[in-house]
Structure 1
Amino acid sequence: MAEVARQSPLPPSAPAQGIENAQPPAPARAPIHQRHTATSRLHALVDPFSKSAAEIKALLRDREQRPVGSQLPQLGAAGVHEYARRRGESMRDLVMRKREIFLAQMGLDTKHSEIAKLEQRTRNWEDALVASEAALEADSQRFEQYLKDNDAKLQEALRRADVEAHARADKAGEAKQLAAAIAAIKGETSKIEEQLQECQRLKAFLDSVTPEDWFEALAATRAQKKAALRAAWQAECDAASARKQDAAAARQRAEHDVQCARTQQQYERAEQAHREAVALLRAVLAEPAPEEPDYAAVDAEGAEQALHFREPAQLLAVFSQLEGSNMFQIQTAQDAEAGLEAARAEHSVTTAALDAQAGELQRQLNELQASVASNRERCAHLQSAALESAPVGSSGESSAPAPGGAPAPSSSTQQQQQQQAQQQPYGLAALAEAVAAAYEAAGFTQDASVTSMQMLQKLEERLEECLAAVGPPTGPTALLAEQVERAREKERRQAARSGKLAEQVAEHEARVARVLSRAAAPRLQRGGKPAMTRSVLHKAEVEGVRERGTDGEEELAAFLSIVDEALDDSA
């Protein structure tokens, strides 16, 4: 201890706290294994940068330099006091120094343990580094092997690519050759198809000019061949069926003989016959069934051999015949066109004449309508004047009661009734009379047993016969009949129109005469109280209640009016 104290003397006047707080200058750069970590600083009992730490390090160096057998001197209590006296220190200072030495020794042990741990960790790191270097070396070797394998695969791929390129080039050349061959085959096929189409057109033309009886004869020949084949096949089928039936009957007879045999010889003979019958039946059953004949082959053979024209002269004769028929048809068409042009010209002339007549008739109609309107106005004026001049009930015709208590109808009421009677449509009796008159006019003998419907049927048949005799609508006879019919219809309409006009004029004149006579008559003087006329209750009209006969008559009248209007428009 004294030697240690001598080797590391401390000034006696320096306190322990000052020693601990003294900071030596930090080293410039210590090695990594000599550096202190924050954890080691926290757990250290002495600051590694203090003066005490420097002294402890010096003691450790001295200890390492001291021989192994040397030890510190052992001092007793007297020795301690003596040592302290010599050093000029008190016992307290000595204890403090010893304490610091102990703490330094303990810190050294801790550092040694930490150094051992760090060395072990370093060795572990070195081992891990060696293992990492070995793994890296192995990885580098594997990578080099991978590069070598990759180069080998690349060379193999290049070689394969070269082979495939050559094969592709060969296939491309072969494809070009095949495409050229296909194009050539397609060209030949198109030529053959064109020839086939041409042959089909020629065949169709030849079939069109071939007589129908030749086709019928060819079809009959094919039918005969098919019938013969079918009969032969049916005969073979019947023969096979007969053989099967005979073999089956023979086996049945043999079985019966076997069952009915009485002696051994008969049994043996029957058994032999039975075996032969069974073998025959098996052979017959094993025979294949007769095949049905191929009728399509007969049709194909007939189609190949079917040719009506064998020499060019036959075609020339057909061409000459067709040319003659074509010339006849052309002449007929030209005649029809000429007739059509003539009919069109005549139609235009007739249309112009009819238009002129229609204009004239329209003008006359307008004049008549104007005259009728003026006469109606005059009649209305005269009626109003007569009513104003005559007092109410002065006229005997209007005020005199009818024999029965009812008032006598006036002249205006009679006129309205006459107009309604004229406008009323034909009844069924009138229609039957008209049908009977037309029936007699057509040349038929009227009979009481013949009904109106039968008359109409006979008239329709006679009209159909006349139309058939006249010919088609575009024929000259039909055109002439149409012209005559139009002329007759025109005459009929003119006569009807003239009759209507005459009736209207006569009616108008009679009405005017009645009005004038009534106006010129003396005024009737009445005496006494005037007679009161009977009041008539107003009856509401019931719509929709009509008789079946009235409906039919109205429909007939409407139809006849539509027909008259259509005829007037066509005229």
Structure 2
Amino acid sequence: MASVNPFKLPSSPAMVEALMSKQTKSGKRDMASKKETQRKNFKRLLMEETQDASLLKKIQARGIDEIALERKGPVDGQFGKESLRDFIAKKREMFLVQYALGVKREEMRKLEEMAQSEEEKLMDDEKALEEDAAKFDAFLKENDKNSVEAIKRAEVETKAKLEKIQEIKKLNVQIMSIRSEMSKNEDQLKDLQRYKQFLDQLTPKDFSGDSKTKSPKNTDGSISAGGEAADEAVDDSTQLEEDEAPLYFETPQQLLDIFAELEENNLALIQNCQETEETLEDLKRKISETEGRMEDETQSLKQQIRLLEESIEKEEEKARVLEERSKMFSIGGVGGESQDKILDELNHKVKEVYKKCVGDGDSNLGTLQMLTNIENKLEYLFETIEMMPPDKVEQAEKIKEKERRQRLREEKMEAQRALQEERVQKALERAQAPVQKKTAKQVMFRSAPPQRKKKRELQTKKQEEEDEEYFWS
């Protein structure tokens, strides 16, 4: 085992553990001493209480003098001889015992008085409880009596209530029957009023009578629900019967004659209406035929105009391409640098088309490879178009054709504007340039020999121009 250096300070955990163990030991020792002291004091108190109790019993049994003689005992073989200190202690003990006896007697007297007062209170409480019980019994009897009377009154009231309910039911049944009868009478009255109104409408205007002046002002509002409304309706009906004026129609035959006359008039009107409808249908049919014919003519004229415009645009485009080619080949052919420039421009245009069609503009592909990819893309698009609905394809073709024409028209206008500006610029330059007099004959280029092209070459050239226009426009 390694020896510990006594001159070296221990580490913090070791020091803390040592202090904690020391405090624990001291705390345990203090607790043990406290418990021992408490135990001794408790034993002493028990002994004193035991001695006092035994002394009290002896005093009560034999008296104070006998106990004093017993406790004093013989001293050095002589009775009554004791030291002054023992005598004082004995006297002190006697005084304490007498004082304790007096205190206990006083406590006993107080306890007896308290018990007597408590007994008196208990007797008073018993009397009050008996009185309360008697009052409660009387209250219960009165309550039972009142309950019996209330039950009797409730039975009487319930019987009266049932009688009233039966009476109310009977009255409700009577009211319902009266209301149903009133509703029937109201329906009959409405029918009769409607018939009267109809007869008034059929009455000739030249009929003079007092029916219009004596007619009721408000027939619909005279009928309402309830007994008062029924009385008012009866009064109104009696008043109407009294004030009723003679009608134009006295016999049903008059009404039948008017019906026959109206029927003849209606038949004539129906016949006229049918003839008018037939005439209107003929006019509508003629108008629709004329509109259809005019629409067909308009469409054919528009188609012809469109074809003429397309042919004019194609011819103008061909003229522009031929003009550019003539400019390019007008000065003794094309050199190597110009060919490289044309190839670069062609490659640039192919790359632009490749970006727009394929979308992969960053790949370093050759011109032929890009054209091959463009052709594959076009074939795929053609196959997709064939699988699409024809109406949608036709609509999309119309939209694209319209956009292409618009673009060609704008390019044509831009070219015309640029050409016009160039012409104006040249005219300004010619106007500002000094006048040079011609001193010799103007040099003329050799005229080209007449070209004899076959029909097949023309078709091939036309196909190439259409392809070029389709791919480069």
Q: TM-score, normalised by structure 2?
A: 0.42
Q: TM-score, normalised by structure 1?
A: 0.36
Higher relative contact order (CA 8 A, sep 6+): 1
